[in-house]
Amino acid sequence: MANRLADLIIDNSYKIYGGIVPKMPKLRKEYIKSGLKMTFESYMSVAFSSTVAAAILSFIVAFFVMHLFNVPLIKDLQGALILSVITALLVLVCAIAYPLTRVNNNKKEIDANLIYTVGYMSVLAAGGISIERVFERIIEVEPHKAIRDLALKFTTNIKMLGYDVVSSLKDIEARSASEIFSKLIVSINSISKTSGDMKNLLAFETKNLLSLKREQLKKRLSSMVALAELYVTAMVMAPITFIIMITLLSVLGGSTMSLSPVLQLNLIVFFGIPVICVVFILILDSALPKED
């Protein structure tokens, strides 16, 4: 039932907005890397439909809510219109940002775990296994979805869509969110056209990725040291300093921004420190690799 409803929404949205979806080649290129199953035109059609629906719904709700509070009709219409425009813009921005966020997450996942995949590919190639069979084995054992989906796309292109190896490699190169993985695919494609010696190529790429991994770990360690120092300053020293200053000012009879010392201390303890903690969690989440 849910799938039928989703298909109905997609079909109707495409019928209405499919013909007016802008080209947007840069966004289309990034969308292909996101791994979403819908076509770019269908996705943007649904995004436009959602934007219009959100604008209409927010206008109606805002109009009736302000009407309940006896807001004058002109101001009621103005407020509802402004809220509907803001809601529509938020929905459209979120719809555009979602595939870009997926691309960024896929890039992190691939870059963090590609060394293990390429090492496994190198072992298989050393045994004389063809590139098609190598990707089939990756599908069977690869735990990371971003890499497994690209390998699955490669085999699907060959087995079901009639692509040859070169064309299928070019396709997954365009779909890869990772520049490192795209360069690897280009190298594999070049070798497949010439000598076909995957063993030496993948062994060489494995060594390069190991060196790159060491450099990334060194940079990440330096970043973590800097974040640790910043954390101590923001979470330990700063709150203690502000609490002492506010306490001394309260003893001397001073005030800040017309707020009582007790309220200021409560804001620091119950609002300021938790907000800083959340910010540091977000920073750490973005800094640490998506790696098992």
pLDDT tens digits, 90-146: 999 999 999 999 999 999 899 889 999 999 999 998 888 888 999 999 999 999 999
Provide the pLDDT for residue 289: 62
Nearest Cα to 106, choosing from 96, 98, 118?
A: 98
Q: How many CB atoms lie within 10 A of CB 92?
A: 18
Average pLDDT of the residues of the chain: 85
Position 151 pLDDT exceeds 90: yes
Provide the pLDDT for residue 253: 67
29, 30, 36 from 26: Cα distances, Å: 5, 6, 16
Is the distance from CB of 96 to CB of 27 less than 8 angstroms?
Answer: yes
Q: In degrees rounded to 5, what are phi and psi of residue 256?
A: -125, 125
Taking the C-alpha atoms of residue 17 and residue 264, their distance in angstroms, rounded to an integer, is 52
133 or 22: which carries more pLDDT confidence? Answer: 133
Provide the pLDDT for residue 255: 58
Q: b/e string for 30-50 if b means 16 or more Cβ within 10 A?
A: bbbbbbeebbbebbbbbbbbb
* Residue 128, Ramachandran bin (φ over 0: left; ψ between -120 and 50: alpha; else beta): left
- Report the DSSP beta bridge partners of residue 259: 256
Burial class of residue 61 (count of CB atoms within 10 Å of its CB; 0-12, 13-18, 19+): middle
> What pTM, to 2 d.p., does this model score?
0.76
